[in-house]
Amino acid sequence: MLLLKSKWAMTMQKRMLLGISLSVGLLSGLAVAQDPIVHDAEYYILEAQNGERWAAEDESLDARLAELRKKHGTPPNIIHVMWDDTAFGDVGIPAIQQVRGLRTPNLNRMAREGILFTRMYTEVGCTPSRAACMTGRHPIRNAMYNIGMLREMHGLRGSEATIAEVLSKAGYATAFHGKWHLGDIEESYAHNQGFDEAFFTGYNQILSLWTRRGEGANATIGLYEDMLPSDPYKLDDTFVTKGWAQVLEGKKGQLARQWGDNSHDT
């Protein structure tokens, strides 16, 4: 998980215990809670150990952001790159990489020149880690702690505050492209969670699983009912979700549009 250097990310790391690995800055004080935040227990231990250093780092970041705004007239752009299935230390920590035979010099340089976070408090998996990054909250708090699968009819609630919404209020133009995996209901889609435009997949990245070939290999079971034997115990399927949309696009305030069909080829 990578960002460029960010005041927002530092604040979330320290105050919400959700380190977003590397970051580029935001305006200071964008997300100020109206009510005192009640943290999990470990936060208060870490604050006692690191509070003075955090405060000094915050002052340094504020000064740097002020320099950038004075020079360019605007706050810095932010690019957040996130990928799955990466173990701790695979990127950014050369000592661990040596053990595993990995070498990523450019990413390691970004870690050295930016901020490297090594604590991320979330349930393991695609959906909860994304929910944590988008909202700054433990996924257990917003019911996004399970990895979303097809035809669940569940997702991130519209009432959640996301980084995209915070950035929009600060004057940023926002966009999301790639794997979203935060639900398959309209309110959960990226363009309804603060992004001005979005082109995304609603589920995981293994598109070849959600095909008739995948069903035939038992990689999935139940997506294509015509491939299954009749169920003698099935009385009514009125409320059973039948379809799904793998790839979607949309703009803020508009309904999502499906991109192509759900085949692996498209």
Active site residue 133: no
Secondary structure (DSSP) of 103-159: --HHHHHHHHHS-----B-S-SSHHHHHHHHHHSS-GGGTT--S---TT---B--TT
Dihedral sign of CA atoms 157, 159, 161, 165 in order: positive
Per-residue CA distances from 32 to 12, 29, 35, 142, 230 (Å)? 11, 6, 9, 20, 56
DSSP 83-99: -SS--TTSSS-HHHHHH
Q: Which of 166, 173, 174 is nearest to 137 (CA)?
A: 166
Amino acid at 108: N
Phi and psi torsions of 257, nearest 5° = -120, 135
Phi-psi region of 202 (alpha: psi -120 to 50; beta: other; left: phi over 0): alpha
- The single residue of 80, 138, 181, 191 carrying the catalytic annotation is 181
**CA Rg value for the chain:** 21
Residue 17 structure tokens: 């215990």
The single residue of 80, 126, 138, 191 carrying the catalytic annotation is: 126
Cα–Cα distance between 208 and 262 in angstroms, integer? 10
Distance (Å, whole) CA 27 – CA 203: 32
The reply to whether 181 belongs to the active site is: yes
Catalytic residue positions, numbered:
126, 181
